[in-house]
Copies of this chain bind each other. A is one copy, B any other.
């Protein structure tokens, strides 16, 4: 008997199921009701909701059985965990499928890297689908190891778990009708978008290109504009892009249709402490959304958004991915079933065997030795007074410099202009005004290219911190108020083959190795979180006050999120899609 024929026989009651979840309140995603009945599973699929004899039985005792949660858009690499370890963390919290965009690793290791990530997620309790990265590099203004063109994307699209074209971040080129980017959009009928702050006729043009989702809205009004144009609104709550709360009004006013949850980028500490999609359900319900609406945002809607026709519901023939919840406030998963098998109990996933990481994935940092003046910001202006420091001197000659201003909890930055601090005629950091130096060092081809600028918002008063996680090209990004500490951090990361480091007074105080592509640890999540906590504590001692400082740092290098960013090529005016000088 084929697997399908056996499933039908179980549905009819002619054969025993493999597994029965008995006595649950069963969530029906198609009507947002709770149904009474036992759920039977055979060969990894749901046979039906009814009464069944035989099979392994799980007594639900009136608890809430819901479809496995789905993340509609995530960069797995932001977890800093290997795929199997990421799966262990999120499956324990009820997530059974994610749609990932492997563009972090593709920036570092090309097509081969993206395909390795899919290979490394083979056979997990978590279903990992991928979209083919469309913007590697994110723009011409940053330097990845190599570019992914339509040919390379097509190679990824041949994978059985590749389901479309990943977020088309180069929205200015899309809107302008650039032939090269439209060729990438045309590779597949299913295309994710990325259009932060884009509205009106520009948004019309972006949508008219055939792009059908967006996860970058920071207000419900922005999200509504996108939904009206037929874009799926992926409500995001990332470590440093906490956009859920501001968008829930869209669900209150217009219902949950054409909306779904996504996490985009979560640090491992956020995953461990706030959870994953379960955390978004908790937050939404705490903010007044009906649990049934939160649940469709977390299950059926992400599946429909991505055309995953057999996921997201407890219905006959669907994949048997389910979570048994204690209640509809905490959304704690007492039992998680993935592909018809118990994958987690009481918040703990079953052990797994992670496949070994091949050497070429590990050996990714290829940076030139750091020049002694690598972090020199140059002269304040042609007429600057070489002997003074501070705003008074700068104001006298009316020079101003561009400053990247961090917006706490957001990926966007503001482009500020300030009188520069000047020492010996050169622009320098000024901790008293929260002005730190920022540098991005090319690390794929040892070009020695370094971009430098100023950033405000970390609160850094001493030393420096650096990371080889630096969206999206993942060069080395470093922020600091003294050049010696910046240099120490960067040199250590090159030695480690990738990671995160904190230094003061020219010496490294703490580090986290990320040897896999310079992005991922091979340690368990808890160990990574502990180490990151220590590093954050060191940064607190050095004055840093904001949340998720490493993720914030890493996104300062992303040239496609407004307003002002820094890459190895210099300061990037995102709206203008050009490099601008430090001095105005």
Contacts and interface: CB of A to CB of B under 8 A. Distances in A.
A358 interface: no
Interface residues of A, number: 60
Contacts of A576: none
Contact of A208 (B11, B212, B254, B257): B11
A210 B315 CA distance: 10
Nearest to A48: B204
A208 B50 contact: no
A30 B228 contact: yes
Contacts of A476: none
Interface stretch (A174-182, A278-286, A344-352, A408-416): A174-182
Interface stretch (A2-10, A92-100, A438-446, A458-466): A2-10
Nearest to A202: B12
A209 interface: yes
A14 to B, nearest CB: 9
A276 interface: no
Contacts of A1: 177
A41 to B, nearest CB: 11
Given A201-B12, A204-B11, A204-B316, A4 B209 contact: yes
A174 B12 CA distance: 11
Contact of A228 (B31, B177, B258, B310): B31
A318 interface: yes
B316 A30 contact: no
B258 A205 contact: no
A43 to B, nearest CB: 10
A291 interface: no
Nearest to A256: B257
A8 B210 CA distance: 10
A257 B30 contact: yes
A224 interface: yes
A20 interface: no
Given A48-B208, A316-B204, A228 B33 contact: yes
Interface string A169-188: 00000111101001000100
Given A177-B8, A309-B212, A50 B182 contact: no
B208 A8 contact: yes
A320 B517 CA distance: 46
Given A31-B228, A35-B228, A317-B207, A201 B11 contact: yes
Given A13-B201, A315-B230, A316-B204, A182 B28 contact: no
Interface in A194-213: 200-210, 212
Nearest to A300: B230
Interface string A24-53: 000010111101000000000111111000
A174 B317 CA distance: 13
Given A182-B4, A315-B230, A316-B229, A204 B31 contact: no
Contacts of A330: none
Contacts of A254: 31-33
A61 interface: no
B230 A313 contact: yes
B175 A30 contact: no
Nearest to A35: B228
A283 to B, nearest CB: 23
A209 B317 contact: yes
A386 interface: no
Contacts of A48: 201, 204-205, 208, 229
A253 to B, nearest CB: 9
A355 interface: no
A44 to B, nearest CB: 12
Contacts of A202: 12
Contacts of A190: 309
Contact of A50 (B5, B200, B257): B200
Contacts of A5: 177, 179, 182
Contact of A201 (B50, B175, B179, B310): B50
A288 interface: no
Nearest to A185: B4
A215 interface: no
B11 A228 contact: no
Contacts of A203: 316
Contact of A307 (B177, B208, B307): B307
A33 B304 CA distance: 22
A12 B317 contact: no
A236 interface: no
Contacts of A145: none
Given A45-B208, A229-B315, 11 more contacts: A2-B179, A8-B208, A30-B257, A31-B224, A31-B254, A47-B204, A48-B201, A189-B309, A204-B316, A208-B316, A307-B307
Interface of A: 1-2, 4-5, 7-9, 11-13, 28, 30-33, 35, 45-50, 174-177, 179, 182, 186, 189-190, 200-210, 212, 224, 227-230, 254, 257-258, 304, 307, 309-310, 313, 315-318
14 contacts: A4-B209, A5-B177, A5-B182, A8-B177, A8-B205, A8-B208, A11-B208, A12-B202, A50-B200, A189-B309, A190-B309, A205-B316, A230-B318, A257-B257
